[in-house]
Structure 1
Amino acid sequence: VMEIANASSPEVFVLLGFSSRPSLETILFVLVLGFYVVSLLGNGTIILVSCLDVHLHTPMYFFLANLSFLDISFTTSIVPQLLVNLWGPQKTISYGGCMVQFYISHWLGVTECVLLAVMSYDRFAAICRPLQYTIIMHPWLCLSLAFISWLGGLINSMVGSTLTMLLPLCGNNRIDHFLCEMPLIMQLACVDTSLNEVEMYVASFIFVVLPLGLILVSYGHIACAVLKISSAEGRRKAFNTCSSHVAVVALFYGSIIFMYLQPAKSNSHKRGKFLALFYTVVTPMLNPLIYTLRNKDVKKALRRLVLEKSCGCTGTRGHI
């Protein structure tokens, strides 16, 4: 099978992207570059603050630092190539480059689905089991859950991406998108892709639908617990604890479900370019903004670090 795949695999892929609308490319280049820089700065700040400020050495910020690292890695696997294609007439990506982008973006996207479910469980434990929270979310469990998220995404990517890579393309190399993704490569195949589609739907159910179900169940329990809180101040505090995560979940899942839970041969991918641009470029930028603007702990930590730096003091450090 590998010989067939190699024999029929093109040396380069043509990423058509937004070439049908050349007047948009310069505008998109500026916007994408701006979003990318803000994303790097915002997510980098979250990681830095979570590591340097001892007050944030809690499970919630450990997972948030993981999410920020994921966002930086995910957007970096796609945006530099996108900027190259938007800037000049060259719209190609090497076969190897396409496969690397394919594997890495798939791995990180799936990992984020699982990690968001893990973060919802952390919020469930904090609000519904406050007295046992430190016992439930002990450091080894946090490390294990983070490891499972990363490993689950990697295994899914290795299986799904490899099955897709083995499809004979018979010289087809024009991808009507700005990135290499599983459904798009499957569209180029010159053989039946039923097995690949079944694998994709099963993986989507396990790594997208099930985590989303766990998130909804967690927040169902959280909503019941919050309604039982007698004081308005207590309810407000509990709501603020979860609102940032809910906003991030809504942004991420709302856009990504459209891309994957649809037939691989569907023409709706053409209409999904701007939606894909949203979840690969805009969402990673919005996540740190949501957490910093809606989170008093992060704001206080940033102020402390800035004051310590301006005073020439040494920041307090610790371990997660």
Structure 2
Amino acid sequence: MLEVAIIGASGYTGGELLRFLEIHSGVEVVAATSRQYADTPIGKIHPHLHDMDLKFTNQSPSDLDVDLAFTATPHGASMNIVPELVEKGIKVVDLSGDYRFDDVGVYEKWYGLEHKKPLEAVYGMPEMYRDKIKNANLVANPGCYVTGAILAGIPLVKNGLVDTIIADSKSGVSGAGINPTPATHYPNIGDNVVPYALTNHRHMPEIQEKLRKYGNVRVSFTPHLVPVIRGIITTLHCFPHLEVTPDEVFGLYQKQYNDEPFIRVMDVSEVPRTSSVRGSNLCHIGGFEIDENGRLVIISAIDNLVKGASGVAVQNMNLMCGFAETMSLEAVGLHP
């Protein structure tokens, strides 16, 4: 039985990790840490986990004796925790942005933090790095917006169709975290759509860096907060260099993702919905329409807390530890 710890387990991503790991037959969660809620039963904070026989603890990394740890900690905090865990021989899946970038300088520029403890990590997108993840000791989970944009963009860049992508994403408010803010206060977000970080969101360089593994591409990105709890819809706008039809583009996506367990390529002109993936580790990709000006539109839908965070973290754990990749993640979406 794999013994697992979740560091920072009281937030939304911690709750989702606990939800998936509770039904994982090969895993035992032996520690779920939270300074604020130490000694509090899990179900008091995550009411959907009321029957889980576990309390939050306030343990330091040096106190942990586990096989694998998830660090569901804020940007800047993980870098103070992860190195000690790795040094102890504990495998780590980090859900922060601290180890996602190839170039520490890019991280420091976009996150406004000095990275004092860089380590070599494998980027935790199985559709890109499955084989490397299997042999990794440290995996850096992708950003939520990033996941929808990259998965929608890989076939375009890999097949040399585009050199510029404009990504427009709309996310539910759970992506802002469990602590309320003026931006997520109901009167401010209800009946409202709020664009933010119009040209300087920190996920833009991450999208661009990873898509450039497949070819030279420029990425522009603007996120929006919408009055729903879960889900990210990402619309990619681009102008292909080559004369292509929607059916031909659709064929490229089928070829790319035919064997991927969590990606569903939808028929031409079929539009993904966030409700179709809610609660699941699935990514739906569709659209494939071209307008009279030659603009190609691709759309992806994910649950920001699952395929955009905790679900893919468990997927990465499964790969790292020799479990079936889909184990405990087989649930489909909740529509309506």
Q: Same fold (TM over 0.5)?
A: no
Higher relative contact order (CA 8 A, sep 6+): 1
Larger strand percent: 2
Structure with bigger helix share is 1
TM-score between the two structures when normalised by the length of structure 2: 0.27
Q: What TM-score, normalized by structure 1, do the two folds share?
A: 0.28
Who wins on radius of gyration, i.e. which is larger?
Answer: 1
